[in-house]
Structure formats: structure tokens, C-alpha cells
Structure 1
Amino acid sequence: MVKPSYGDLPPKEAESAVLTDAGSRQGPPAGIPDIEAPALKKASASYLTLISLANFGVAMAFIVPMSYSLAVRISQLAPGHEELLGYVTGTAQFISIAASPLVGVWSDRFRSRLGRRTPFMIGGALLGILGLLGISLAPSVLLIGLGWVFGLFGWAAAGQAILNLQADRIPEEQRGKISAFSGLSAQIAPVLGIGIAYAVSSSTLLVFLVPGLVGLALVALFSLVKREGSSVGLVHNSTVTVKALLTSYTFSPRKHPDFGWNWLGRFIFFMGLYFNTTFGSFFYAQRLGLPIKEVAGTVALIGMLGIVAATAGALTGGFLSDKLRRRRLFAFLGGLLFLAGGITEAYAHSFITLLVGALIMQCAIALFSAVDQAIIFAVLPDRAQAGRYLAVVGFAQRIPSAIAPLLAPFIIVLGAAGAEKNYTALYLTGAALALIGSLIIFLKIKSVR
């Protein structure tokens, strides 16, 4: 067996590179060759900064379309048919979800001078840019949907590669910090991105292209400055069978109960989150009586004020959970805060009330995301196959992002009066689901404090 090279990270004396964090190893499915995990060593401050910036860029590139620019584009081509946004985003998510474990397995065993993960970061960002360009020029909703299939798949692959690198490189004592930085960047990126999109809103092309170019530039910066190292020597002694690929979409909850409970709790939490965020632009437009194209300024203002709340949530969860070595309690606190914010927004009809609810929810999302990502790294069945298992973890977030936009249109028309959609029911449902998800993680996971 040949161990791959991983740049400037020599083996850590106290840890075998072939062991998971729990000290045991779950072998790969039949048909997928054995792979050694790179050794863990404390990452430098510059490495943490640059990988967080890369994550920030990817988040801006794909969250801005989901939260603002796709809604604007669809309203231009099909005014009055906001349900089409759910169909476009949901369809793209399903296709991207279906392909993600294949990308994960491929990434785990990819041989190149750039490493295992870097080609997927760069290639995904380039594909994402092409998708955004296609959406900006599309003459029909059908072509917008096609462009978003490519755009979302590309940016999702880039984001997945960044997460895989965190599992490859970041030791337990820094996982709360990097999770906090990642969660915080995912909160700040769309806020700044929507502000940028609003500033260039006179050009449909720039609304899509500028956030994408920011994402590409930051991914390239990280890849060039912090080189992953060659994986040319990665063991490659058999082909991956169809059966093994199908197996890569699954895991055994019986063998890995904590991984399974975290997956379920995360799934339910994010179902609630996407109920309360997918139609955010339309929700604010209705409650404030604004045209959809003019709501970007309000969304950006609320988001910018929410940066402080998101920072507090992410840093509290990440740094304190590292210091106290307690993760589950903070995940549950995130669910409680989300419930409070969701209820506040559900009954809000003024800017001030909407602002208060949004601030609470942004703090809650950042807090939960920071801690739960650290929990994920701790309960991975096999760190050597981080790409595969993190793709499965991704299902817990990405399946809700596909299902919620398809279910939400049915909820908002229940009891709706005329053109007024029932966003109260939608936000209450989302808040309840988020609390249930966090409660599962708090009560059921045993191997993480």
C-alpha cells in the first residue's frame, strides 16, 4: 500500500494515519480499494483563514442565486408564478444530490499532482460560473432550470471538496473553530453577496456573474497558496464496482448509531431551515408591501445587521464547544433559538419585528451549524473515506433543500386569503422541525459530549 503525499503535513506522532478519530477503522465497501487517511496535525492560522475564505466564496456563489437572484430572474420571465422557484431549485437539488456520493468516492481515490480534493474545487467552481452565466442569458424558465442544474452541481462539488479537506486536515482540538469559521462565512457570504447583487441590479449578467467570480477567485487563492500535495501515489489496486457505488449512498445505522442519529437530526433541522429561507424574498416582499425586485435592499440590510448575531452564534458555539468539550448542548441551544426566531417572524408585519426574528434565526443557524459540523467530524465511520461519508452527510442538508421548496408551495396556499400566501404556517412548521432536529442530536448521540 502506498501512502499519498499531503504536502506540509508530516505524520503526527500520537496518531496513526490509518485510524479514525475513535481509534477503529471501518473498512471500505467491497469493490472500493483501501485508502489511508492523511495524518492530522494542528493547522496554521493562515491555513484556517484561507480555507474559510474559500468556503466564503463558494457560499456566496451559490446561496445568492438561491436566496435572491433566481427569484428575480424568474419574476422577470414568469411574473406572478413564484412557485416556479421551488420547482427550479428543487429539481437541481435532486440531481446534485444523486451525483454527490459518486463525486465523493471519486474524490477519495483521485490521483493527480494537485491532490485528491483540489481538482474538484477548481473544476466545480468553473462549472458553477458557466451555469450562472447560462442563467443570466436564458430566455425561458426551462433554460434557467437547466443552467441551475449545472451551476448548483459545480458549486456543490467545490464546497464538498473544501469540507473533505477539513476532515482530512483539521484535528479534533480545532474542529470547533474551523466549524465556527465555516458557519460564519456561510452566514456572511449571502448577505454581502446580495448587497453586491443589489448594487449591480441594473445588469442581470452581473447579478449572477460577480458573486460567482468572487467564489472562483477565493477558491483559486486557497488552492495556490496552500497546495494540497500530490496524490499520484494513492493506492489504486482495483476498480470500483457498480455494487460498491450503490453501497456508497448508504451506511449502517446499527454499526454507526451516532452517525445515524446525527444524520437524522441534521435532516430534520435543515428541513425546518429551508422552509423558512427558500421563499425569504417573497415573504419579505409580502409582509412589507414591496415589489420583489426592491426587496433586495431590505434583505441585504437585515442580513448585514445579522452578521453580528451570526458571529456571536458561530464563535460561541465553535470556540466554547472546543474549550468545554461539549457539543450537543450547543446544538440544542441552536434549535431553541431557531424556534424563537421562527415564531417571531411568523407573526411579524413590520420591519422591526422582522429584523428581530431574523437576527435570532441567524444566530441560531450559525450556532447549530458550527457545532454540528464538529460533531460530524467526530462520528465519521472512517476518516480515510471522508469524501464518501461527507457526501452521505450532505444528503441530510441537501435533500431538505430539494424537498422543502417543493412542499412549501402547498403549505403557503393552505388557508391563504386571495393573493396573500400563508407564510405564518410555513414559518411555524419550519421552527418546530428545527427544534425537533436539534433535540434528537442532544438526546441520542452518545460518543460526543
Structure 2
Amino acid sequence: MAQSDADVSLGGNSAPAGTPTRGLLPLLFLGNAAMYAMYSGVGGVLLPLQVEHIDAADKVANLGLVAGISAIFATIFNPVAGALSDRSGRRNPWILGGGLAAIAAMALLGSVNTVLLVTIAWCVGQAVMNIYQAAITSVVPDRVPLARRGVASAAVGLGLPFGTVAGVGLASAFGYRTGYLVLGVFVAAAAVVFTAGAREQRMPAKKAASLRDQGRAFLSVLRQHDFRWAFIGRFLLVLGYFSVVGYQLYILQDHISLPDDLKPSTAVAVLTGISAVGMTISTVVGGVLSDRFNRRKLFVGLSAGIAAAAQLIPVITPTWPGMLAFAAVNGVAFGCYMAVDTALVTMVLPKAEDAARDMGVLNIANAAPQILGPFVASAVVSLGGYAPLFLFGGVLSVLGALAVVPIRSVR
């Protein structure tokens, strides 16, 4: 079947040597921006507000419980959904199905009023969003040639700052009941636009595998030396990032002295905007320069190190200006890291035909820290307050930077 200009052909590390078409890059940006809007708006604003409204006295522990348990579903559904899309030979139906299901999941989440029901509803939300995520993450290794992975990953990475700003802005504007539904509609609309514009060429479907075989396959990819270290580095840095960002609203409520006319939810939106500017600049610059110099590990390691330094700023200066500086530096570091590390990961995938499954395994490094992060962060805050939480995030970022050193096949 002939492809239109919106398409880029085929699979994984064997993608053709040409450049990605212009039509795919804005669609990747939109699809990923909607996903990050959901995650940031729900995790950064709506869930904390809802949990606080239900039980203000135990908000820190309850938020850790809700976020941690629901992230288990993210960990389970991401590689499973990736394997299913590999087996079907399609990505678009999974993107569309997950996107449309987000409306129902968010409507459910906005309607409940106990911690138990919030946990169950957000589990459903994590499940459908990771079906969406597993498929859209696989588009780059499927359709973009190796020489242009940095640029394509930059388009994906730009979805993070813009999506985060949109998600936090919408969440702050509408509150948690209406805000959930608005974010669900945003994801569904992006899924419709993406699947309508990025028509795909069907890949060969795979035979069904048993659950035992799938489990063995998931574990086998982690035995690959370079993929394993890429996984470890991503896991550590994301754990450090979300341990702090997931409690940002409470940090601003309980730890930082804000100006009298500034509400904590508004302050989150301000910090998000500042961080997004840094992410935008560093995502583009990092993606382009990593292509030009063909050096992925250098940029990944430096950005992880800068992320560690950013965590020290609120410890040294626990003030509103200190938080502004933290947001700017952390945004620059995280934007560059995610853009270049995504390109690096696509280069260490063991098999092109298993791209979605293997990217799904890698995405456990995005989801699993959300399991550990809230529990660990709530324990750190309960024992020592918010300053040790920043130090904890900084140490993990340093370890994430060191994890790329053993990778052999990528410079």
C-alpha cells in the first residue's frame, strides 16, 4: 500500500535511511503533548487537590498511596499493551482506543469522593493511558531512520514542556471535577488527529504467545547489556524527578513561604511555565546537537548531572526565588535528558520487530519510579521534611548520570 507524505516507513532500527517526513513530527508532538498534559495535570494538581479535599490531615500519606498503587497498573499495562500492538502489527488502533477511553476514565475519577475510589479510578486511568503511551512511543523506532532519531525525539520531547504547561494550566483553571474531564477530552482529540493524519503501513502480525513466554521475553530484553544500563539510568533519574515534582503542591503549601497574593496552585502553574521554557530550549538544542556530534551518552550524562545540581537549589535557598531558579535549571536538564535519552534508547533496542514490546519494557523505567517514588517520598517527608526530599532526588540523578557510562554500542 502506498504511503502518503504523512508517513514514514517501517520498523525499528532498520528504518529507512531517509529523513522523517514533516507531517509526522507535528503529530508526534501533539500526541505526546496530550499525554504529558494528562500526567502532569492529574499528578501535579488534580490528584493532590482531590486527596487534600477528602482528608487534609493525612494528605501526604494518602497521595503516596494513591499514586503508588495506580502506578502498578501503569507498569503492568505498558509492556503488555506494547506486546499486543506488536502482535497486531498496528499502532494507530491502540492509540485511538486508549485516547477515547481516557474520557470515561477521567469522568469516573472526577465523580468519586473517597481515597479508595480515587485509587481505583486512577488505576483505570493509568491503564488506558499506558495503552496509548505504549503504542505512540513505538512510532519513532517504527518509522524514523537512525540518523534522524535525535530530531524526531526532540519533537516527542517538546510534548513534555508544552503538555505540562497545558495540563497544569487546565487543571488549575477548572479544578479537579471538571479538570479531569477536560484533560480526557484533550487526549481523545489528540488521538483522533494523530490516527487520522499519520496513516500507517501494517506490519506483519505475530502469533499469540503465552503469558509465560511473554514474561520470559520481557525479562530477556533486560539481559541485553546496553539496554539494561539504559533502563537503569532512566529509572533512577525519573525516580528522582517524580519524587520531588509529585509533591510540588504540598512543598509550596507547607515548606516554601510564598508571596501573600500567590496561591499554591497558581505557583505550581508559574513554576511549570518556567520549567517548560527551559525544557523547550534544551529539548531542541540537545536533540539537534546529539545528531550533529553523534554523541548521545555525553548529553545524557551532562543533563542528568545538571538535574542533580538543580535539586540543591531549594535546599540552599528554600524560598520562592529559589524555587523559580530550581524550576528553570531543572527544566533545562530534564528536557535535554528526555530528548537525547529517547534517541539513545531507540539505538539499543535488541530487535526491530519487537520495538513496541521492548519500548514498553523501557517505559517501566518511567512507570515503576511512580510506584516507589510516592511511598519513598512520603516516608522521607514524614521523617525529615522536604529538604531531604530534594537531596534524595539529587543523589538519584547523579546515579542516573553514571548509569550511561557502561553503554558500549552508542557514543
TM-score normalised by structure 1 residue count = 0.85
> Equivalences for 1:10-159 in 2 at 5 Å?
21=13, 41-82=18-59, 83-110=61-88, 116-159=90-133
Q: 1:171 aligns with which of 135, 141, 145?
A: 145
> Equivalences for 1:320-399 in 2 at 5 Å?
320-399=289-368
For 2:15 and 2:280, the matched residues in 1 are separated by 31
The 8 Å contact of residues 110 and 180 in structure 2, kept in 1 or not, is answered as: yes
Q: Which moved more, 1:39-48 or 1:174-183?
A: 39-48
> Equivalences for 1:189-204 in 2 at 5 Å?
189-201=163-175, 204=176
Q: Report the CA distance between 1:185 and its aligned residue.
A: 1.4
Q: Report the CA distance between 1:192 and its aligned residue.
A: 2.2
Deviations 1:308-348 (A, max 9, x none): 21112211210100111111111111112111110002333
The 8 Å contact of residues 96 and 156 in structure 1, kept in 2 or not, is answered as: yes
What is the aligned-residue RMSD (CA, Å)? 2.2
For 1:438 and 1:214, the matched residues in 2 are separated by 34
Q: Secondary structure at the match of 2:96?
A: helix
What amino acid is the match of 2:190? L
What amino acid is the match of 2:167? G
Distance 1:210 1:252, change over 3 A: closer
TM-score normalised by structure 2 residue count = 0.93
What amino acid is the match of 1:76? H
For 2:304 and 2:202, the matched residues in 1 are separated by 41
Deviations 1:3-24 (A, max 9, x none): xx68448998xxxx78x63xxx
Q: Secondary structure at the match of 2:178?
A: helix
For 2:128 and 2:315, the matched residues in 1 are separated by 34
Give unpaired runs (5+ residues) of structure 2: none
Structure 1 partner of 2:190: 218
Q: Report the CA distance between 1:241 and its aligned residue.
A: 2.1
Deviations 1:21-80 (A, max 9, x none): 3xxxxxxxxxxxxxxx77564221221111111111111122210111000111111112
The 8 Å contact of residues 45 and 172 in structure 2, kept in 1 or not, is answered as: no
Q: Does residue 448 of structure 1 match 2:410? A: yes
**Percent same amino acid among aligned pairs?**
25
Deviations 1:335-392 (A, max 9, x none): 1211111000233332111100111011111111111100000000011111110111
For 1:107 and 1:11, the matched residues in 2 are separated by 18
Distance 1:268 1:249, change over 3 A: same
Q: Secondary structure at the match of 1:259?
A: helix
The 8 Å contact of residues 136 and 205 in structure 1, kept in 2 or not, is answered as: yes
Distance 1:309 1:250, change over 3 A: same
Distance 1:242 1:207, change over 3 A: closer
What amino acid is the match of 1:314? T
Q: Does residue 427 of structure 1 match 2:390? A: yes
From the CA coordinates, give the structure whose radius of gyration is larger: 1
The 8 Å contact of residues 274 and 400 in structure 1, kept in 2 or not, is answered as: yes
What amino acid is the match of 1:390? M
> Equivalences for 1:259-338 in 2 at 5 Å?
259-289=227-257, 294-338=263-307
For 1:327 and 1:58, the matched residues in 2 are separated by 25
Q: Secondary structure at the match of 1:251?
A: helix
What amino acid is the match of 2:49? V
Q: Secondary structure at the match of 1:381?
A: coil
Structure 2 partner of 1:27: none
Q: Report the CA distance between 1:403 and its aligned residue.
A: 0.8
Deviations 1:140-175 (A, max 9, x none): 111111110111111121122111111100111221
Structure 2 partner of 1:402: 371
The 8 Å contact of residues 154 and 284 in structure 2, kept in 1 or not, is answered as: yes
Deviations 1:162-214 (A, max 9, x none): 1111110011122111212222211221222211222223xx43211112211
Distance 1:11 1:363, change over 3 A: closer
The 8 Å contact of residues 15 and 146 in structure 2, kept in 1 or not, is answered as: no
